[in-house]
């Protein structure tokens, strides 16, 4: 009896794995390789046929995910006591890959897709014309769509939980709220302290250092090599929007962007995307074929990006390395000594545009989005009120206010593109980065010291061992629990900020 069951289990398992392997081939080809080509290499007129190809392969992927064979496997393995972590992970991953689309009636989903396509174009026009009213009816429809999606997807307490869960499994509004309001007040208070400091009052935020793109490219390659990115298993290219795409752990493609007039853009893109690139390269190749050779979640991936960008990249020790390298490449950096270059990389200055924000105020931009999104979905504010609510929050939290909606509520494509429930991932990423850093320091010692001793590899190894190599076997919260033994917390992040800005501004 037992033998027969074991036999059936292993027979079903090889069927499950074969089906999933094919899904993976299609998914990685479509979402990584073909998409990468589209944003880096495709000639401009190629878009029409390419869209058809991508539509066809997307349909094929949907067909495989909806197949009877796969459903039979899912029914058999879902909750099966014989499963190891990997099989459990596979079940969870497939359900997530498919659940959210399948729950929405096909017609309504198609309507949504076409709404988004239009909304993105209208948003672009509205931003160019600085005319929120143009975009308002579209955004209203998008908000209505997401309210109805939340009902299809289901939630226990708050409708927004359903949207949040799409990006970070099991994370809830209550959990975020517990951290975000304290953190918001903490950052505002810290910002106010910094604003009093002589160093802050004296710093010239208009001063920036530029460098020709060719040399910035060389610098980015240096940064990637320093942190341990393997160019035999990956590459670096340019594109309009920085991102990292993996065709497999052995074929990881970083897309970056440079700003000729400000070296910081290229440096922090390389560190951020490079961190994500390390994550992808370190994933255990044994997970290929299970759909688990991926990052655990958007939030965890982003946390590794933030770790390399902020914790490591803006550290005293790494900024000194950067400073030395930059002096090789450009004479202009000589106007600084290493100490003021470090401070330059860590300057705080409230600004209106999220993607230009410094490390500290960045989090306030994120919290504002989160608060607004949540209130929209929970019907506490209307779309019509958005510009006013937006401006008021910027005044209150950052002490500055946009002159127009282009620099305010219209600045990002996110809502036009249907990214509702997405900003909390950015929020969590910063907390997790600080929490990982704290755990790392407990186990292998001070990050600053490891860097100045030249052991970037120790840092990389710790992350590979504790996070990267596990791929998507565990969800965000499971992973955090495995590493820290506890839940996500904002304490490590507050501690980190206090320590950093004390060093920069002598609070």
Exactly one of 24, 175, 273, 301 is catalytic; which is it?
Answer: 273
Two tokens, residue 454: 């030249």
Residue with tokens 């991102």, as numbered in its chain: 243
What backbone torsions phi and psi does residue 135 show, to the nearest 5 degrees? -85, -25
The minimum distance between CB 33 and its own copies, in angstroms, equals 6
- The separation between CA 65 and the C-alpha centre of its own chain, rounded to angstroms, equals 25
Residue with tokens 């499950």, as numbered in its chain: 16
Helices (H) and strands (E) in the chain, counts: 22, 3
Nearer to its own copies, 50 or 264 (CB): 50
Distance CA 475, CA 89 (A): 8
The minimum distance between CB 180 and its own copies, in angstroms, equals 40
* 198 counts as catalytic: no
Nearer to its own copies, 28 or 422 (CB): 28
Q: Is 123 one of the binding residues for its own copies (CB under 8 A)?
A: no
Which listed residue (39, 57, 381, 458) binds its own copies by CB under 8 A?
A: 57
The minimum distance between CB 25 and its own copies, in angstroms, equals 4
Contacts of 131 (CB under 8 A, 6+ apart): 125, 405
Nearer to its own copies, 62 or 231 (CB): 231
H-helix or E-strand spanning residue 353: none
Do β-strands 243-248 and 251-256 pair in parallel, antiparallel, or remain unpaired? antiparallel
Binding mask 25-54 for its own copies (x = CB under 8 A): xx-xx---xx--x---xxxxxx-xxx-xx-
Interface with its own copies (CB under 8 A), residue total: 33
Binding mask 246-285 for its own copies (x = CB under 8 A): -xx-xxx---------------------------------
185 to 244, contacts with its own copies by CB under 8 A?
230-235
- The separation between CA 174 and the C-alpha centre of its own chain, rounded to angstroms, equals 21
| Segment lying near its own copies (by CB under 8 A), choices 18-26, 81-89, 260-268, 457-465 | 18-26
- DSSP string of 383-437, one letter each residue: GGGHHHHHHHHIIIIIS---SSGGGTTTS-STTTTT-TT-HHHHHHHHHHHHHHH
In this structure, are residues 300 and 476 in contact, taking their beta carbons and an 8 Å threshold?
yes
- Contact footprint for its own copies (CB under 8 A): 22, 25-26, 28-29, 33-34, 37, 41-46, 48-50, 52-53, 56-57, 230-235, 247-248, 250-252, 288
Residues designated catalytic: 273
């Amino acid at each position: 009896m037992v033998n027969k069951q074991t036999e059936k289990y292993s027979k079903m398992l090889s069927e499950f794995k074969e089906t999933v392997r094919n899904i993976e081939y299609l998914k990685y080809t479509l979402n990584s390789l073909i998409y990468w080509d589209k944003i880096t290499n495709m000639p401009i007129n190629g878009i029409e046929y390419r869209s058809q190809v991508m539509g066809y392969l997307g349909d094929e992927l949907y067909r495989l995910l909806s197949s009877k064979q796969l459903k039979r496997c899912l029914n058999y393995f879902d909750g099966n006591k014989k499963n190891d972590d990997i099989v459990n992970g596979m079940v969870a991953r497939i359900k997530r890959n498919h659940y959210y689309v399948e729950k929405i009636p096909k017609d309504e989903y198609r309507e949504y897709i076409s709404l988004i396509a239009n909304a993105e174009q209208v948003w672009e026009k509205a931003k160019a014309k600085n005319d929120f009213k143009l975009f308002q009816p579209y955004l209203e429809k998008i908000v209505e769509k997401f309210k109805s999606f939340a009902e299809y997807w289901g939630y226990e307490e708050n409708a927004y939980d359903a949207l949040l869960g799409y990006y970070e499994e099991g994370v809830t509004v209550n959990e975020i709220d517990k951290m975000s309001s304290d953190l918001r007040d903490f950052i505002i208070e810290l910002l106010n302290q910094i604003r009093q400091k002589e160093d802050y009052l004296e710093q010239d935020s208009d001063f920036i250092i530029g460098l020709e793109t060719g040399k910035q490219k060389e610098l980015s390659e240096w940064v990637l090599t320093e942190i341990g990115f393997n160019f035999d298993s990956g590459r670096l290219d340019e594109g309009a929007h920085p991102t990292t795409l993996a065709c497999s752990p052995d074929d990881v493609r970083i897309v970056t962007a440079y700003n000729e007039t400000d070296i910081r853009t290229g440096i922090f893109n390389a560190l951020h995307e490079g961190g994500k690139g390390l994550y992808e390269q370190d994933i255990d190749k044994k997970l290929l074929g299970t759909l688990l050779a991926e990052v655990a979640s958007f939030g965890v991936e982003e946390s590794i990006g933030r770790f390399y960008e902020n914790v490591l990249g803006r550290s005293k020790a790494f900024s000194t390395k950067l400073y030395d390298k930059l002096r090789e490449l450009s004479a202009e950096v000589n106007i600084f000594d290493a100490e003021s270059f470090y401070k330059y990389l860590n300057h705080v200055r409230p600004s209106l545009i999220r993607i230009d924000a410094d490390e500290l105020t960045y989090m306030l931009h994120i919290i504002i989005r989160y608060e607004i999104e949540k209130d929209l979905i929970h019907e506490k504010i209307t779309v019509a009120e958005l510009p006013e609510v937006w401006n008021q929050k910027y005044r209150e939290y950052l002490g500055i206010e946009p002159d127009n909606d282009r620099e305010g509520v219209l600045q990002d494509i996110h809502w036009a593109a249907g990214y509702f429930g997405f900003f909390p991932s950015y929020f969590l990423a910063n907390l997790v980065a600080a929490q990982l850093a704290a755990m790392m320091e407990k186990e292998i010692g001070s990050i600053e010291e490891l860097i100045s001793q030249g052991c970037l590899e120790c840092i990389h190894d710790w992350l590979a061992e504790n996070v990267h190599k596990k791929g998507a076997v565990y969800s965000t919260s499971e992973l955090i629990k495995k590493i820290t033994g506890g839940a996500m917390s904002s304490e490590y992040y507050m501690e980190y900020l206090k320590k950093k800005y004390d060093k920069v501004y002598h609070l």
